[in-house]
Each structure stands twice: as C-alpha cells, then as structure tokens.
Amino acid sequence: MTSRSSIWGKQIGRKKTRPSELIRALLKKGLSLRTVAAALNTSHGSCSLERSLMKKEEAEEKRRLAEEQKSLPDFSTITAPNVPAESAVAI
C-alpha cells in the first residue's frame, strides 16, 4: 500500500541541502573527504555518504553493462565469406 503523501508527490522529512554535484566532482578529482568538506563548508559525514552513494552507483552501472555484454550475441566466431579477387569490385 502506498502512502497518501507519496501518491500526492509530497516530500517526507528534511530537505537535502548538501551540494552533491560539487562533492562528487571534487572527490573524482582526488581530493580527500576532509578537504572537500572544508572547501564546501559541509560535514565530512556528508562527503562520506556522497562518496559511498557514488561508488554504489558506479558498481551498479558496471554490473548493468556486464549484463548487457552477456546478452549480446558473440560475433567472434563469425567469419567473412571467401570472395574471389576477380569478382571483387574495385573502388
């Protein structure tokens, strides 16, 4: 059963205020958690949470791509037909 608030599109709880995009960008550049937290005036806990979410999303994306690769047919066993040189069209 779905709650009324989610049916109506209402947010429950506190609004997220951490600058997720900036945190992710700085972490991808290789800065430490505490350096990012100090630069953006947020807690290192928020940066740590964002880093763990980012790693989780990357792992999920990697898993999804691996599943896609498995579902694609294997073209490595297909060979090109032998065409005599006389019948080949010159370009």
Per-residue confidence of the chain (91 residues) as pLDDT tens digits? 577 887 888 888 888 889 999 999 999 999 999 999 999 999 999 999 999 999 999 999 999 999 988 887 777 677 767 766 666 565 6
In 1-91, beta strands by DSSP E: none
pLDDT the model gives residue 11 = 82
Q: Which of 60, 49, 56 lies closest to 19 in space, CA to CA?
A: 49
* Angstrom distances, CA of residue 33 to CA of 8, 39, 75: 37, 10, 45
CA distance 27 to 37: 10
Phi/psi at 62 (5° precision): -65, -40
